[in-house]
Amino acid sequence: MAPTKEAKATKATLKVNPIDCTGHGVCAELLPELISVDEWGYPIVDPRPVPPQLDREARRAVAACPALALKLIRK
């Protein structure tokens, strides 16, 4: 799928370090638009660029991760 104009502007994607992640689920609560949890409680992250209107929430979810496992990767 071609990235939208907004997505091109931020070029940031969310990535989980699956080794550090312990499945607290905080990220999915703070950012349900981009993160859901699987049946074991581990996050499933939308691989597409973070839309700019969710940039603040994405940064908040990254900061809130108790395991420091969620990253916002800016290209």
Least distance from other proteins to the Cβ atom of residue 36, Å: 11
Residue 6 C-beta: closest distance to other proteins, Å = 25
State the nearest-atom distance from the C-beta of 58 to other proteins, in Å. Answer: 19
DSSP 18-58: TTT-----HHHHH-TTTEEE-TTS-EEE--SPPPGGGHHHH
CB-CB contact of 29 with 39 (8 Å): no
Residue window 4-43: x/- pattern of binding to other proteins, with contact defined by CB under 8 A: -------------xxxxxxx--------------xxxxx-
